Structure 1
Amino acid sequence: MIQTDVMVSEVSKVSAADILNARILVVDDKVANVVLLERMLHGAGYASIESTTDPHEVCALHLKNPYSLILLDLQMPGMDGFQVMESLKEIEEEGYLPVLVITAQPQHKLRALQAGAKDCISKPFELAELRARVHNILEVHLLHQETKNYSKVLEETVRELEASREVIRLKTLEERKKSEQELVLAQATQESLLPRFLPQFENFRIHAYNTPTRYVGGDFYDFLQLSSGEWVGVLADVSGKGMSAALLSSMVLGALSMEFRARSQPQDVLNRVNQLLFEKSLPSQFVTVFLFLLNPSGTGQFISAGHNAAYLFRSATGTIETLLSDAFVLGMFDSASYQSRPLHLYRGDVLVVYSDGLTDAQNQQGETFGEDRLLKIIRQKAPSGSHALEQKFLKAIEEFTQGMPQMDDITFVVVEKCQ
């Protein structure tokens, strides 16, 4: 577990108790000097004092019981203090020597400091000076140890953080891969809902377009030929994204197809489909639908269930009629009732049905395509027919978005009465 209580900006201070309990080793070949130093240190309150008169034992003792301070006499037979310090360097990590040199030769002080000693004191020494120098060296050494320990904690924390980051990275990659697989499956499901070929109905030309976003919404369109000679067109926008939206789209499309085989009135079909969705879909899921039924003469009816406005261009007058929704979305209310309204297309008239992904499409400046731009294109190109209008839509969308990723599917259907 990562230690969150470690403060990066502050190392703990050394307490007086830490200093008085620090391990001290006295090294002098003369027993009298050793006894004197021990008494002075005990008198100052130091509790953990050891000593030796044999300089050859210093390294072994220090390895066994690492000392915070070594009081070291320089003038000793067989092995002087300088040789002891050289030996200590070989066993001390980072070459840090917690050594206070005691010497009767003032000229040796500089050499001792250059050899690694942290301080020097001259013989004969005064009690107050000895206490002060011992205290200072111990405080510095303990702070040094505290810093080393703190650094180790930081290093361990960094290692744990890096390990955690790697775990998160691998988990993220796994989740991303799973998400990508789901998106691919959802997109394949959505594409399978769209007609492979647009139908040819008597006296009509039909054009349709759908481009799913990376997030795969639930737009779809379809056309059904009825046994009565009439035909049905539908454009729907399912709430949500991904696989759940694709599955709901599949359910809606299947239900519409099944219901139109059993009955031909749009209001009866949507009443049945609404009840099915209310019972089978999640509470947060719903569908907006624009559904229309036409016969070869152009007479028919439509229902807009919570869908955005559709537009009907009248060739004879050059005007555009707005077909607004007057019904609830599908799947939210079991008591919702749907009634169809009359629809008639004359020769040259063009019906435009679309999802809000078209008008909500954004450019690099964050502006939306909007209904005003859509209506302007319809006025300009609908007189030239449905094909010209479709091509203008596609060009306008491409020029407006300039490759900007979109958050919603862009779908539209264009129907022209040509005879």
Structure 2
Amino acid sequence: MGWDGGYWRDGSPCADIVSLNDGLELSLYIFRNIREIAGACAMEKELVPLLKENILQRKQFILEFVNKTDPFTLTTRIGPNDKKAVEEELNHLDHLLKKADENTLGQCEVCHESVEAARLEMDYSACVCLEHLSGEERTKLEYDLELSQKVQRALLPNTLPEIKRFEIAAFSQPARIVGGDYFDFLRFQDGTHALAIADVMGKGMPASLLMSNLQASLRIIAPEKLKPADVLERLNHIFCHNIRLTKFVTFFLAQIDEATRTLTYCNAGHNPPLLRHADGSIEWLIPTGAAIGLIEQTEFLQNSVILQQGDRVVLYTDGVVESFNKNEEQFGEERLEQFLHNSAALPTSQVIASLRETLHQFTQTTQPLDDTTVIVLTAV
């Protein structure tokens, strides 16, 4: 099965990154609605310090490279450019740092309003908001945004696995053009199915970059391991030592035994998946270890649950339970639990569409404030 226009081609919901078609329609939608997506053009308070830190790191890297590299290697690395180009880059970085100190970094030079946060995450030197871009600049940005989204879409699975005695459906939508939610279907060394869902701390481009790192690492490690705990232990080591883009990643990884319908899992600080048994009882698959990248010396415990026919598991990211309505009330775990009871009779392929509609009725908006990902697994 493939996916087409937001649905698996067999008619069930797919891993649609945004509920829009590719091409010009998507681009126009982005430009008309990016102020909403970026929070009505209000820059996040924590964004400017983060941008300043990144600029300082880049300046320090260039200075160390120039001062500590021998002349021959330096000439080789710079190529036809001379030190003047390096000096111009350093001057540009100093200019940005001065703007940060004056609290004007990320401010539009035309209207003096904040440049959209989503743009600043892609280009910290952006100094003109969308409304004041030239036609040529809009065309270039349109291309960059579409490319970023297509790259992230390519990182997520485009088919559902066929798992004996189970039905499965999945959906993912970033709060911005790209996001930090991740889900995947893999195999362990012994051929058993693996099901993964993760949430990178943060939003937008930085979270998306780390998500791609997570995907690459997981797809290399999982086929070499026999159980979830071994995979998460290795991932945690890599992230604690090599990744500096964010603080941590919440991660839920499950192994499915088709013969016995056994779900063996590790929950690394992720929102507890909700298991509704066929008899109506509820079980939360609570964390068994710390989030990935948070604590180096930690143990990842495994739990197992045997699913009976009619049992249903819903895996989700915090964009579901942390959705707010106009009264600033969260959707929360209790409403999710009630939804699972109300949707018990629905086929797996319809559960996600029903949940999306429920969230829409609750929030009265189609654009989530946080990345939202859902996987539904039903024992049949």
**Fold match, TM over 0.5?**
yes
The alpha-carbon deviation at position 408 of structure 1 amounts to 0.7
Aligned twin of 1:188: 150
**Where do 1:6-405 residues align within 5 Å?**
166=110, 171-173=127-129, 184-214=146-176, 216-226=178-188, 228-282=190-244, 284-296=246-258, 297-315=260-278, 317-403=279-365, 405=367
For 2:300, the aligned partner's letter is: Y
Cα distance change, pair 328–345 in 1 and its aligned pair in 2 (3 A)? same
Bigger relative contact order, structure 1 or 2, given CA contacts below 8 A and separation 6+? 2
* Residue segments in structure 2 that go unaligned for 5+ positions in a row: 1-107, 114-125
C-alpha separation between the residues in 2 aligned to 1:300 and 1:345?
7
C-alpha separation between the residues in 1 aligned to 2:182 and 2:288?
21
The alpha-carbon deviation at position 295 of structure 1 amounts to 1.1
C-alpha separation between the residues in 2 aligned to 1:384 and 1:180?
39
The alpha-carbon deviation at position 383 of structure 1 amounts to 4.0
Q: CA RMSD in A?
A: 2.6
Q: TM-score, normalised by structure 2?
A: 0.61
Cα distance change, pair 166–263 in 1 and its aligned pair in 2 (3 A)? closer
For 1:292, the aligned partner's letter is: A
The alpha-carbon deviation at position 311 of structure 1 amounts to 0.8
Q: 1:250-297, CA deviations, whole angstroms, 9 ceiling, x for partnerless residues?
A: 111111111111112111111001010111111743100111111112
Cα distance change, pair 167–320 in 1 and its aligned pair in 2 (3 A)? closer
C-alpha separation between the residues in 2 aligned to 1:165 and 1:389?
47
For 1:330, the aligned partner's letter is: I
The alpha-carbon deviation at position 220 of structure 1 amounts to 1.2
C-alpha separation between the residues in 2 aligned to 1:166 and 1:275?
47
C-alpha separation between the residues in 2 aligned to 1:332 and 1:235?
17
Would the aligned equivalents of 1:186 and 1:242 in 2 still touch at CA under 8 Å? Answer: no
The alpha-carbon deviation at position 319 of structure 1 amounts to 0.6
SS of alignment partner, residue 346 of structure 1: coil
C-alpha separation between the residues in 1 aligned to 2:340 and 2:244?
37
C-alpha separation between the residues in 1 aligned to 2:297 and 2:331?
35
For 2:263, the aligned partner's letter is: G
* Residue segments in structure 1 that go unaligned for 5+ positions in a row: 1-163
Aligned twin of 2:102: none
Higher normalized strand content (fraction of residues): 1
The alpha-carbon deviation at position 205 of structure 1 amounts to 0.5
Q: 1:367-414, CA deviations, whole angstroms, 9 ceiling, x for partnerless residues?
A: 322211111110121244423432321221222222253221111100
C-alpha separation between the residues in 1 aligned to 2:193 and 2:280?
26
The alpha-carbon deviation at position 354 of structure 1 amounts to 0.3
The alpha-carbon deviation at position 190 of structure 1 amounts to 2.4
Would the aligned equivalents of 1:190 and 1:220 in 2 still touch at CA under 8 Å? Answer: no
Aligned twin of 2:372: 410
Would the aligned equivalents of 2:182 and 2:198 in 1 still touch at CA under 8 Å? Answer: yes
C-alpha separation between the residues in 1 aligned to 2:297 and 2:141?
37
C-alpha separation between the residues in 1 aligned to 2:367 and 2:324?
8
SS of alignment partner, residue 171 of structure 1: coil
Would the aligned equivalents of 2:188 and 2:225 in 1 still touch at CA under 8 Å? Answer: no
Q: 1:204-263, CA deviations, whole angstroms, 9 ceiling, x for partnerless residues?
A: 100111111126320011111345342010110011222221121111111111111111
Would the aligned equivalents of 1:301 and 1:341 in 2 still touch at CA under 8 Å? Answer: yes
SS of alignment partner, residue 305 of structure 2: strand
C-alpha separation between the residues in 2 aligned to 1:283 and 1:242?
12
For 2:280, the aligned partner's letter is: G
Would the aligned equivalents of 2:267 and 2:289 in 1 still touch at CA under 8 Å? Answer: yes
The alpha-carbon deviation at position 364 of structure 1 amounts to 3.2
C-alpha separation between the residues in 2 aligned to 1:409 and 1:397?
13
Cα distance change, pair 255–397 in 1 and its aligned pair in 2 (3 A)? same
Bigger Cα displacement from structure 2, 188-197 vs 255-264: 188-197
Q: TM-score, normalised by structure 1?
A: 0.56
SS of alignment partner, residue 172 of structure 1: coil
For 2:327, the aligned partner's letter is: Q
Would the aligned equivalents of 2:179 and 2:371 in 1 still touch at CA under 8 Å? Answer: yes
Q: 1:322-346, CA deviations, whole angstroms, 9 ceiling, x for partnerless residues?
A: 1111311101222122121112211
Would the aligned equivalents of 2:318 and 2:372 in 1 still touch at CA under 8 Å? Answer: yes
Would the aligned equivalents of 2:145 and 2:177 in 1 still touch at CA under 8 Å? Answer: yes
SS of alignment partner, residue 258 of structure 1: helix
Would the aligned equivalents of 1:218 and 1:240 in 2 still touch at CA under 8 Å? Answer: yes
Q: 1:1-28, CA deviations, whole angstroms, 9 ceiling, x for partnerless residues?
A: xxxxxxxxxxxxxxxxxxxxxxxxxxxx
Cα distance change, pair 365–280 in 1 and its aligned pair in 2 (3 A)? same
For 1:354, the aligned partner's letter is: Y
C-alpha separation between the residues in 2 aligned to 1:264 and 1:366?
44
Number of equivalent positions: 254
Would the aligned equivalents of 1:292 and 1:301 in 2 still touch at CA under 8 Å? Answer: yes
C-alpha separation between the residues in 1 aligned to 2:141 and 2:269?
30
**Larger Rg over CA atoms:** 1
